[in-house]
Chains A and B, each alone.
Chain A
Amino acid sequence: MSNLRTANIEAKDARIKVRWIEFTIVRSLMICALISVVTTLAIVVILAKESSGFFQEVSIYSFLAGLEWNPLIEPRQFGVIPLVLGTLLVSVGACIIAIPIGLGTAIYLSEYASQKTRQWLKPTIELLAGVPSVVFGYFAVTSITPLLQSVFPSTEIFNAASAAIVLSFMVLPTITSLSDDALSAVPRSLREGGYALAATKREVSLGILLPAATSGILAACILGFSRAIGETMAVALAAGSTPNLSLNPLQSAQTMTGYIVQVSMGDTPHGSVEYQSIFAVAALLFLMTFSLNVFSQSILKRLQKSYD
């Protein structure tokens, strides 16, 4: 009897110990999950705090509306529009190239390719996404720019067109695989409905599948665009470092990311205005990509609901 009793007490002790261990583990796991929230907060706080120093020297209005970006040499000018224009020129250009190719690839993968082709083609495209950004930059400088120069002799050594082309290769996998997902999510019954109405594959793809997958494809394109805006090393190598208020793609251009890298590579002293300016530019970059991402996510969420 007493044996059973001590056994029971021992078991109780063990259970308390186990429960205490459980509690500690669960708490520490929770802390790990909260690190992501802390990260977001830290990004917002740091960008706000550091760029507020910059905005004490330069007014927000002259930053956002200024047409001249000349941060290093007197008289210094901090109008961000040339950088934004450079960024948009390069990333819109990249999307103009990548979206049709990506959509075509997605249609090929989901409608035309045999199971076998799909099995090796998809990983190959994913592999393209794994190539580091600097490699694309190198490719742009050594291959694309000379090619452009042989076609358009007026092309500068560093130019926006080359950056846009190489950037399009980089966002192609994103656009392709998300569009492919969107097309594959269209139920088979809709395809059959189309074919039963004597439609060819092209007519089903363009007339039924694309419209049915619009929101997914839109989300893919927006995400691709946002990636293009945030892309750094390839663009910094290919586009050059001259801020230009021009839409000529054969001229050198500087993007927001390119500027931040340029300043970081140099020996700009802490606390100087040009040093603080990278935080202001980064804050703007963050706001742009963040709102694009939220937008594309809200589209995807709506899509998910409509299929449930």
Chain B
Amino acid sequence: MTPEELQRKLQSSFTDMDEIPLFKDNLNARARGEFLFKWTVRFSAFTAVFIMSLLLYRVLQDGLPWLSFDFLNRFPSRLPERAGIKSALYGSCYIIVLTTIFSVSIGVAAALYLEEIAKKNRLSQFIEVNIANLAGVPSLVYGILGLAVFVRYLDFGRSVLAAAATLALMILPVIIITSREALRTVPNGIRMAALALGATPWQTIWSHVLPAALPNILTGVILALSRALGEAAPLIIVGGVTYIAFIPESLFDSFTTMPIQIFNWAGRPQVEFQGIAAAGIIVMLLLVLTTNAFAIILRNKFSQKSRW
């Protein structure tokens, strides 16, 4: 029975509803519209999944034949069959470790100050707006900043140190913002309890508030670091080179990273280098996506648990 038929049937049984033809519900057409709309939004929701799978499929298909243990253990080369990602892999790892040290110490400290210590006055409000704006500055502009300040003014040169400092500045706003959100989820009762036992504000923060917020802070930090790991633009400006046949040994050595190396390979005309680029992408994605997924899972887990 279609809705229209139902309506006719019903109307015949109503005595007091003769005036109803004021409405033409047109339920069939609306149900069709609803059906169409539902499938449209469902389809668009799955485009992201589709793109993600297509991308992974493409990269695996192109890259797996080139991927080997030797690939990880060779330096870049003009010849595709002898090219490897060793220097880029080490470069990325060294830089990310340094970036972590710089950005986490400064970022969490800044978040603690803004969330736990600073009074809500104009200065802290200004800092807050300022951090939100910094989070939206394109990564490339941080590269320019790094070039001017670290490479030239502080004379670090085009080095590992300059690269790490630049990336640290780039992810600092994100780390501060997520750490503050993490601190905000710590219930006030914990602070009050510690203060009531005679602890100083800093003792309270250090031994109670910070541990409680740690899982969520960690999630934000990991997400930010995985972004830094895949970022090439600012490092190219700071001076990442693509042909490096050694592993950096000091903070002032020149460097290359995986995304820079991949960018270089992908831009070359020879087809073989596309495969090499794909192999490099697999290595990088393995690092980036696993850390990313780890962070997302960590957050989902704790966001369910931490409803106090």
Which residues of A are in contact with B by a Cβ distance under 8 Å? 18-19, 21-22, 25-26, 28-30, 32-37, 39-40, 42-43, 46-47, 50, 100-105, 107-109, 111-113, 119, 121, 123-128, 130-139, 141-143, 169, 172-173, 176, 198, 200-203, 205-206, 223, 226-227, 229-233, 236-237, 257, 260-261, 264-265, 278-279, 282, 285-286, 289-290, 292-294, 297
Is B52's CB under 8 angstroms from A108's CB? no
- Chain B 274-306, CB-CB to A under 8 Å as 1, else 0, gives 100110010011001100110011001000000
Is B144's CB under 8 angstroms from A46's CB? yes
| B134: min CB distance to chain A, Å | 6
Tell me the dominant secondary structure on chain A's binding face. helix
- Chain B 229-262, CB-CB to A under 8 Å as 1, else 0, gives 1111100110100000000000000000001001
With contacts defined as CB atoms under 8 Å apart, how many contacts are there between chain A and chain B in the complex? Answer: 264
Is A201's CB under 8 angstroms from B138's CB? no
Is B130's CB under 8 angstroms from A138's CB? no
Asked, given contacts A32-B109, A202-B33, whether A286 binds B137 with beta carbons under 8 Å apart, the answer is yes
Is B58's CB under 8 angstroms from A36's CB? no
Name B235's closest neighbour in chain A (CB-CB).
A264
Q: Which of B132-154 contact A (CB under 8 A)?
A: 132-134, 136-141, 143-145, 148-149
Q: Which of B215-241 contact A (CB under 8 A)?
A: 223, 226-227, 229-233, 236-237, 239
Q: Which of B106, B200, B231, B266 contacts A32 (CB 8 A)?
A: B106
Q: Answer whether residue B112 sits at the interface, using C-beta atoms and an 8 A cutoff.
A: yes
Chain B: number of interface residues, binned into ranges = 35 or more
Residues of chain A contacted by B118 (CB below 8 angstroms): 30, 33
Is B230's CB under 8 angstroms from A40's CB? no
Is A108's CB under 8 angstroms from B41's CB? yes
Q: Which of A108, A138, A227, A289 gathers the greatest number of chain B CB atoms within 10 Å?
A: A138
Residues of chain B contacted by A237 (CB below 8 angstroms): 263, 266-267
Asked, given contacts A22-B202, A138-B281, A290-B136, whether A133 binds B231 with beta carbons under 8 Å apart, the answer is yes
Other A-B pairs beyond A46-B148, A130-B288, A257-B233, 6, CB < 8 Å = A32-B113, A131-B52, A134-B232, A201-B38, A232-B233, A297-B132
| A124: min CB distance to chain B, Å | 6
Name B149's closest neighbour in chain A (CB-CB).
A42
Name A278's closest neighbour in chain B (CB-CB).
B144
Is A32's CB under 8 angstroms from B41's CB? no
Residues of chain A contacted by B40 (CB below 8 angstroms): 104
Is B45's CB under 8 angstroms from A105's CB? yes
